[in-house]
C-alpha cells in the first residue's frame, strides 16, 4: 500500500477507530470479563459496558494501544512507516513528522510495535521452498582455546523461506541444545509446514525429515558455489539479527519477514 492509498483508507481518527473496532470485534462486542455479547457503547467516555456483568472496557484495552494517550491515527501512521520502510525509519523522523512531544514516547511506541510484529510472525509457519541449516553464534576462539574447553559458541536452527523469485522472504531461528537429530527434527516440525520442500546439506537429520512428511533436496557447497554464497549471506543476516536482539533472541523462536 502506497502513502496516498493509506491516507484515503484512514483519513481521520474515526476511520482508524472504526477499522480497529472491526478487527477486534468483527461480529460485535464481546465482554473481556465474562464473554457476554450484549452491551452498550458510552460515547462520552468511549467505553463499552456489558449488560451482564457491568464490566466496562475500552476498544484498546488489552491491546498494543492499551491506555495510550496518543491518537489511533498517529499509531496507524507510525505502523505504516515502520512496515513500509525498506531501510528502517528514524524515531526522530517519526517524532517530527507525527508531532509527538517526547522522544521517550516515540521510542516506547516503536518498541511495542516491534514486539507485536515478533509475536505476529511467531504464529507463521514457513512453507513452500525452505532452506534449513544450523549456525553457531559466539565470540572468536583460538585453536588452543577450543582444544582446552571445547567450542563455546551457541548453536541455532535457521530456516529461510524463499519467494517465487528465489530470494529470501521469511527467516526463522531458534536456539537449540545441539545439532543432532533429536534437536533438529523437532525444530523442523515446529517451524516448517508439512509438505514443504527442505533444501539442506547432506546431514542425516535433514534427510530424515522425509520420514516426517517433508520433501528434501540435498546440495553440496563445493558443487554449487552460488547457493553456498547465499547460505553464508543468510547466516550472516541471522547473526546480525541475533546480535541486535541480544539476550531477547535466546531461548525463543523468532521469525522475521525479509520482504
Which domain CATH number covers 9?
2.20.25
Same domain, 116 and 32: no
Same domain, 117 and 160: no
Residue 13 lies in domain: 1-63
Same domain, 103 and 56: no
Closest CA to 30 of 68, 64, 57: 57
* Chosen domain end from 63, 87, 103: 63
Q: What is the pLDDT of residue 51?
A: 96
Q: Which residues of the chain have pLDDT under 70?
A: 1, 121-122, 138-152, 220-259
Q: What is the pLDDT of residue 24?
A: 93
Q: What is the pLDDT of residue 240?
A: 45
Q: What is the pLDDT of residue 83?
A: 80
- Is 23 contained in some domain? yes
Report whether 31 contacts 50 (CB < 8 A).
yes
Same domain, 4 and 98: no
- Is 100 contained in some domain? yes
Question: 132 pairs with which residues across the strands?
Answer: 159
- Is 232 contained in some domain? yes
Q: Determine the Cα–Cα distance for residues 123 and 201; give it in Å rounded to an integer.
A: 27
DSSP assignment letter at 15: H
Q: What is the pLDDT of residue 204?
A: 80
Q: What is the pLDDT of residue 36?
A: 95
Q: What is the pLDDT of residue 250?
A: 41
Contacts of residue 96, Cβ cutoff 8 Å, sequence gap at least 6: none
Same domain, 235 and 136: yes
Same domain, 187 and 134: yes
- Is 148 contained in some domain? no
Flag whether the pTM goes above 0.85: no
Q: What is the pLDDT of residue 242?
A: 47
72-84 and 91-98 helices cross at what angle (nearest 10)? 140
- Is 68 contained in some domain? no
- Is 145 contained in some domain? no
Same domain, 15 and 92: no
Q: Determine the Cα–Cα distance for residues 69 and 112; give it in Å rounded to an integer.
A: 14
Report whether 25 contacts 32 (CB < 8 A).
no
Closest CA to 135 of 207, 229, 239, 218: 239
Same domain, 214 and 134: yes
Q: Determine the Cα–Cα distance for residues 158 and 259; give it in Å rounded to an integer.
A: 17
Same domain, 134 and 247: yes
Same domain, 202 and 87: no
Question: 162 pairs with which residues across the strands?
Answer: 168
Question: What average pLDDT does the chain have?
Answer: 81
DSSP assignment letter at 153: P
- Is 147 contained in some domain? no
Phi-psi region of 17 (alpha: psi -120 to 50; beta: other; left: phi over 0): alpha
Q: What is the pLDDT of residue 35?
A: 94
Report whether 59 contacts 17 (CB < 8 A).
yes
Same domain, 115 and 135: no
Which CATH number fits the domain that encloses residue 222? 3.30.420
Q: What is the pLDDT of residue 248?
A: 40
Q: What is the pLDDT of residue 230?
A: 52
Domains identified in the chain, total number = 3
CA distance to 34, 67, 126, 236, per residue, from 179 (Å): 46, 44, 20, 18
Same domain, 118 and 32: no
Amino acid at each position: 500500500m502506497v502513502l496516498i492509498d493509506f491516507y484515503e483508507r484512514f483519513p481521520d481518527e474515526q476511520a482508524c477507530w472504526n477499522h480497529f473496532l472491526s478487527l477486534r470485534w468483527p461480529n460485535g462486542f464481546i465482554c473481556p470479563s465474562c464473554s457476554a455479547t450484549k452491551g452498550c457503547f458510552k460515547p462520552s467516555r468511549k467505553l463499552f459496558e456489558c449488560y451482564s456483568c457491568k464490566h466496562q472496557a475500552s476498544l484498546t484495552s488489552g491491546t498494543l494501544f492499551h491506555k495510550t494517550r496518543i491518537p489511533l491515527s498517529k499509531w496507524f501512521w507510525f505502523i505504516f512507516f515502520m512496515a513500509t520502510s525498506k531501510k528502517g525509519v528514524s524515531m526522530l523522523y517519526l517524532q517530527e513528522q507525527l508531532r509527538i512531544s517526547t522522544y521517550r514516547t516515540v521510542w516506547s511506541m516503536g518498541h511495542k510495535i516491534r514486539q507485536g510484529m515478533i509475536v505476529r510472525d511467531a504464529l507463521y509457519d514457513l512453507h513452500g521452498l525452505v532452506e534449513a541449516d544450523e549456525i553457531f553464534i559466539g565470540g572468536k576462539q583460538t585453536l588452543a582455546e577450543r582444544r582446552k574447553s571445547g567450542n563455546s559458541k551457541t548453536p541455532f536452527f535457521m530456516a529461510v523461506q524463499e519467494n517465487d523469485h528465489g530470494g529470501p522472504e521469511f527467516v526463522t531461528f531458534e536456539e537449540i541444545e545441539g545439532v543432532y537429530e533429536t534437536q533438529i527434527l523437532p525444530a523442523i516440525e515446529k517451524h516448517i509446514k508439512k509438505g514443504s520442500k527442505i533444501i539442506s546439506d547432506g546431514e542425516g537429520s535433514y534427510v530424515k525429515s522425509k520420514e516426517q512428511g517433508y520433501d528434501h533436496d540435498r546440495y553440496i557447497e563445493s558443487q554449487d558455489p552460488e547457493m553456498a554464497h547465499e547460505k553464508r549471506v543468510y547466516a550472516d543476516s541471522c547473526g546480525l539479527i541475533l546480535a541486535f536482539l541480544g539476550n531477547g533472541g535466546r531461548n525463543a523462536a523468532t521469525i522475521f519477514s525479509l520482504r
